């Protein structure tokens, strides 16, 4: 089958649905790819790059007439008319918000897949365009805020004075929110975040943010997105937003509910309470806005000098990386649709991922799809936790028992010295004293440069060397030989221990 990559007609759009790198992967799947001339210029992808990747650079009419058309934005009525009967259209459509567009597409015998309708399940993450674009948009929102803000993000202590760090509030800790938190934290700002899902608190903290929890229960939908919150939650959250608006320097809002207008989080009164020079980036401006007074695609400056940025093309402001990520998502979809890698699309509506993305099939309106649970696997009951047996702590030796044992040892030494034949008493006395001295010598070896085991073995070896040195000068040849062997082996153990220690220390020393 033949794939066509068209140029975007939406004013201000800079992205393209495929890059030279992703075109090469589509060709590897068996497809014949043509790219409309100039389609990637705004994203810094020239026609020559596509030609080198194996694609054909063609006119708009030829590309629109292909079996599969790849696009970023939803098509216009004129563009729908250019699609060939029986063809496939793959693009972002927002079908939940554009029912008239879905009906217009269904009036033509084509099949349409929405890249922004990927079910939020783990095995579909590689196709999730919304996450890819949200990640870029969250980062870019911080860049736009930093460009407009009149101070450093990080704190500064200079000879001219001290500059405090900027304080940023991120509303919503989804993909876009986490990207914004990470970017603002890396710039040195003090970052706070709010989200109706308490389970994201650890993610916020792990990238340097402070999670502000609304002490009212909220739920996450079975599709993986946040649900509409309760009135009680909204009331308490509104109070917190009002408190934070008066304190922070920058607010970035990311709250969206799929298929519904954006929830209103920051009121006009909240904006009026912010300090002059503060900045708000409303990432939900295209869906109605989280901030009262924001305008889609525009920058509004209020009477109290607060700048409200309502750009709807944040991802498109980084067109090169945005096009690459979108193109990769498309390639992953085509891999799913081309199981034999023979350049032939096989649409399997039994697959929840393909079914969730299919808006129209051969002129039949299939929207909305059946609901999909976040986890397709059945939940397994947790195994019963075995109760741990109580650990019986070893009782320390009592003072009475210690003195009793010492008394028994002294009595045994006295009886041996009183009744044993010579020279046994003298040798036994030396043995007892050697054990006592050796115990305290070994027990007091410091472990600063050794492992405890190596320290103890070196101490024992040292005692052996001392004892063998005293015996090696004796008259008995057997004793002298055994003493020499003992000195040799103990010395090898000692010097080997220091050699191992040196190698261990060198592993941790900086080159």
What amino acid positions are annotated as catalytic residues?
A: 120, 125, 128, 131, 225
φ/ψ of 410, rounded to 5, equals: -65, -40
Q: Tokens standing for 72?
A: 């970023």
φ/ψ of 361, rounded to 5, equals: -125, 110
Q: Residues 470, 472, 473, CA angle at the centre, nearest 5°?
A: 80
Tokens 């650079």 sit on residue: 57
Largest CA distance in the chain: 120
Residue closest to 71 by CA, chosen among 136, 10, 159? 10
Q: How far apart are CA 164 and CA 155, in angstroms?
A: 5
Strand 167-171 to 250-253 pairing: parallel
Residue closest to 86 by CA, chosen among 108, 63, 115? 108
Tokens 């649905």 sit on residue: 17
Sequence-ordered list of residues with C-beta below 8 angstroms from that of 59, at least 6 positions apart, any chain: 36, 37
Assess whether the previous peptide bond of 494 is cis (omega < 30° from 0). Answer: no
**Rg of the chain (C-alpha set):** 37
Q: How far apart are CA 422 and CA 413, in angstroms?
A: 14
Q: Tokens standing for 456?
A: 């103890």
Q: Tokens standing for 326?
A: 């979108």
Residue closest to 180 by CA, chosen among 306, 279, 286, 328? 279
Q: Where are the beta strands (DSSP E) in 226-357?
A: 250-253, 279-282, 299-301, 307-309
């Amino acid at each position: 089958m033949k794939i066509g990559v068209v140029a975007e007609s939406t004013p201000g759009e800079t992205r393209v649905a495929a890059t030279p790198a992703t075109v090469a992967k589509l060709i590897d799947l068996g497809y014949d790819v043509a790219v409309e001339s100039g389609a990637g210029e705004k994203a810094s992808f020239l026609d020559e790059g596509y030609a080198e990747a194996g694609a054909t650079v063609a006119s708009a009419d030829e590309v629109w007439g292909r079996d599969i058309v790849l696009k970023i934005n939803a098509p216009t009525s004129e563009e729908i008319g250019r699609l060939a009967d029986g063809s496939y259209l793959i693009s972002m459509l927002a079908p939940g918000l554009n029912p008239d567009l879905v009906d217009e597409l269904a009036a033509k015998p084509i099949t349409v897949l929405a890249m922004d309708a990927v079910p939020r399940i783990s095995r579909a993450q590689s196709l999730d365009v919304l996450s890819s674009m949200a990640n870029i948009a969250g980062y870019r929102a911080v860049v736009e805020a930093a460009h407009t803000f009149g101070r450093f993000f990080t704190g500064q202590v200079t000879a001219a004075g001290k500059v405090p760090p900027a304080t940023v509030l991120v509303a919503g800790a989804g993909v876009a929110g986490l990207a914004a938190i990470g970017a603002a934290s890396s710039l040195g700002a003090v970052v706070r975040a709010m989200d109706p899902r308490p389970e994201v608190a650890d993610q916020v903290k792990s990238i340097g943010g402070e999670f502000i929890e609304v002490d009212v229960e909220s739920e996450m939908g079975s599709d993986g997105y946040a649900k509409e919150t309760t009135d009680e939650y909204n009331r308490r959250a509104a109070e917190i937003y009002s408190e934070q608006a008066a304190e922070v320097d920058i607010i970035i809002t990311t709250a969206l509910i799929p298929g519904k207008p954006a929830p209103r989080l920051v009121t006009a009164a909240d904006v009026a309470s912010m300090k002059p020079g503060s900045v708000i980036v409303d990432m939900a401006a295209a869906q109605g806005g989280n901030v009262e007074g924001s305008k889609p695609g525009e920058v509004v400056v209020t009477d109290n000098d607060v700048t409200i940025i309502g750009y709807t093309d944040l991802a498109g402001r980084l067109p090169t990386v945005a096009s690459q990520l979108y193109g990769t998502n498309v390639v992953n979809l085509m891999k799913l649709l081309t199981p034999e890698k023979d350049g032939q699309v096989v649409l399997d509506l039994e697959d929840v991922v393909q079914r969730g993305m299919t808006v129209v099939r051969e002129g039949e309106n299939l929207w909305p799809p059946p609901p999909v649970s976040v986890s397709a696997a059945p939940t397994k009951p947790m195994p019963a936790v075995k109760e741990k047996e109580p650990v019986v702590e070893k009782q320390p030796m009592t003072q009475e028992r210690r003195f009793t044992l010492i008394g028994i040892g002294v009595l045994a030494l006295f009886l041996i010295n009183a009744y044993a034949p010579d020279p046994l008493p003298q040798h036994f006395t030396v043995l007892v004293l050697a054990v006592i001295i050796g115990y305290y010598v070994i027990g007091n070896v410091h472990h600063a440069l050794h492992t405890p085991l190596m320290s103890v073995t070196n101490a024992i070896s040292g005692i052996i060397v001392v004892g063998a040195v005293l015996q090696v000068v004796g008259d008995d040849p057997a004793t002298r030989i055994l003493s020499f062997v003992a000195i040799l082996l103990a010395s090898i153990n000692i010097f080997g221990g220091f050699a191992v220690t040196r190698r261990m220390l060198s592993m941790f020393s900086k080159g």
